Amino acid sequence: MYLLTDHQLDTLRSHLRQSAISPDLLPELTDHLACDLEEAMWAGMSFDEALPKILKEASLDTLSQLQEDYCSILGLEPESEPATLRDIVFMNRNKLYGAYDLREHYTVATEQALLWGIVIFSVTVMALGLHVSRQVQRERSKTPVRSIYNQPIFPQKTGSLAIKPG
């Protein structure tokens, strides 16, 4: 069996990198085409003869069609939207363990948290207010109606406080 050199593999990789193939698929496709190449070379072709033949089959059009099929079979959204910063951060990383989801739903989560915060806070304040005012009313009704408001606070002794001129 003929084995491709690192340099030959790099030539193949640089072609595949030009296509829209997703990172999930790239290593396998590289291996597959490398196997194809090695078989062709084992059958007697030189690398320079075999490479165009393999790449013709795996043209950029074919590869982008493959990527589309891949997305539709796996139920992924085709990446028609421009990549966000989040996509760039998570490129070639595990998106399944939670951080990607967290970041993706960050805006919605924040808005919801704010809304719930406002609702819970105002309900608490209103409930406390209601409780306090009831308590006050109850206390008032308990005390006998000897209201202090009817009595003057400072009983006026008009005579003593009158300022005498000179």
**CB closer to other proteins out of 34 and 45:** 34
Angle at 95 between CA 13 and CA 76, to 5 degrees: 75
CB of 48 to other proteins, least distance (A): 19
Confirm if 64 and 20 have CB atoms less than 8 A apart. yes
CB of 103 to other proteins, least distance (A): 22
**CB closer to other proteins out of 7 and 142:** 7
CA distances from 106 to 19, 83, 93, 97, 103 (A): 31, 17, 19, 16, 5
CB of 128 to other proteins, least distance (A): 52
| Nearest residue to 87 (alpha-carbon basis) of 13, 14, 16, 23 | 23
**CB closer to other proteins out of 35 and 132:** 35
Q: Which residues bind other proteins (CB under 8 A)?
A: 3-4, 6, 9, 24-25, 27-36, 62, 65-66, 69-70, 73-74
**CB closer to other proteins out of 77 and 139:** 77
Confirm if 67 and 20 have CB atoms less than 8 A apart. yes
CB of 70 to other proteins, least distance (A): 5
Angle at 36 between CA 31 and CA 37, to 5 degrees: 95
**CB closer to other proteins out of 61 and 139:** 61
C-alpha dihedral sign at 144, 149, 150, 152: positive
